[in-house]
Chain A
Amino acid sequence: MVISYPQLFIVFLKLGAFTFGGGYAMIPIIERELVHQAKLITQDDFYDTIVICQSLPGMIAVNMAVLLGSKLKGVKGAFLSVLGVTLPSFIIILVIATLFFQAIENPLVLAFFKGVRVSVVALIFVAGIKLLRRNMHGFGFFIATLTFALVAVYFVHPFLVILIMGFLGYIITQINKSGESL
């Protein structure tokens, strides 16, 4: 089965328009559309794509659009897929931003957002707790605590902290390896 340029664009446009809650929410939907229904991509290829997208910086939805788009329809396909997946949120946010900066002066809107801010703390907290449960073992817990301390307490630039932690992970793995070979 083949897919045309407009069809490819529409698949990713739909994803961009209807998936709330970021890239991870899009994975099962992409899988259903392109792997199960259209059978354009094999299950193995799809899992490889997820692993690659998670191992590189960037938004997972955009990265997946590039990889899958180029796999199906080359450079032009990649371009159309990225455009499709980002265009809806770009337009929606433009409209919302315009309204927001006009409306935030309104006391009712301000009160609404004062409540909303509380749920933002809760949402991030819950996401953190869920991830923390998977990182409770020695080295992971140490890195998580160290990262928190450096960023929240000592105010080190997060950009630097991310680079340092990646480097630490590399060093520790090398040390473990040389320990095993002894």
Chain B
Amino acid sequence: MMIISLFIAFLMIGMVSFGGGYAMLPLFERIIVIENAWLSRDMFIDMIALSQITPGPIAVNSATFIGYQIAGVSGALLSTLGVMSIPLVLVSIVSKYKTQFLKSQTVQAIFTGLRPALVGLIMASVFSVAQTALLDWMSLILFGIILVVLFKLKWHPIYVILLSGIIGIIVYA
């Protein structure tokens, strides 16, 4: 049963996953943390970090990670297939009607709504993740430092994640 709900959950996620990983985090959180309690909030954020320091799309990484945690290798396989299947079918259909699709006014109209919605979704995930990760003064100071590193020094996310982990060890261990 578990494995079927796992597949359906990722099928749903795949169906509306527009605009890259971050915008989909509220949907992930809702289905994985809140509705099914497959991961704790802390582990959900750790998983995002792990998806960032490993190659590959964040949605595939998360599907594999959560699937494995719930039902081992077969769970990992099933959720990864789940998150990809609907997009794969759609892409195959659209590739046959490429010119019509590219000219379609309807598709463009839908995206005038979807594009800004993705911004709102990303900000919603900041709001939620911050409530779990920014709990004390130390983390707020670290947050400020990292923002400077990201905006001014433009470090690659991998180095930012490793740096904050090392500071974490110094501060919390």
Contact = CB atoms under 8 A, between A and B. Distances in A.
B84 to A, nearest CB: 6
Interface in A1-52: 16-24, 48, 51-52
Nearest to B21: A22
Main secondary structure of the interface of B (DSSP, over half): helix
A147 B117 CA distance: 6
A51 B59 CA distance: 20
A127 B122 contact: yes
Determine chain A's interface SS by DSSP, over half rule: helix
Interface string A62-102: 11001100110000001000100110111011101110110
Contact of B120 (A16, A18, A146): A146
B58 interface: yes
Contacts of B27: 158-159, 162
Contacts of A92: 54-56
B64 A151 contact: no
Contact of B14 (A57, A93, A163): A57
B165 A115 contact: yes
Contacts of B126: 121, 124-125, 128
B129 A157 contact: no
Contacts of B30: 157-159
Interface in B154-171: 156-158, 160-161, 163-169, 171
Interface of A: 16-24, 48, 51-63, 66-67, 70-71, 78, 82, 85-86, 88-90, 92-94, 96-98, 100-101, 104, 107-108, 110-128, 131-132, 135, 139-152, 157-159, 161-163, 165-170, 172-174
8 contacts: A20-B158, A23-B20, A86-B84, A88-B56, A115-B168, A119-B157, A146-B120, A169-B112
Interface of B: 12, 14-22, 25-27, 30, 42-43, 45-46, 48-61, 64-65, 68-69, 73, 76, 80, 83-84, 86-88, 90-92, 94-95, 98, 101-102, 105-130, 132-134, 139, 142-143, 146-147, 150-151, 156-158, 160-161, 163-169, 171-173
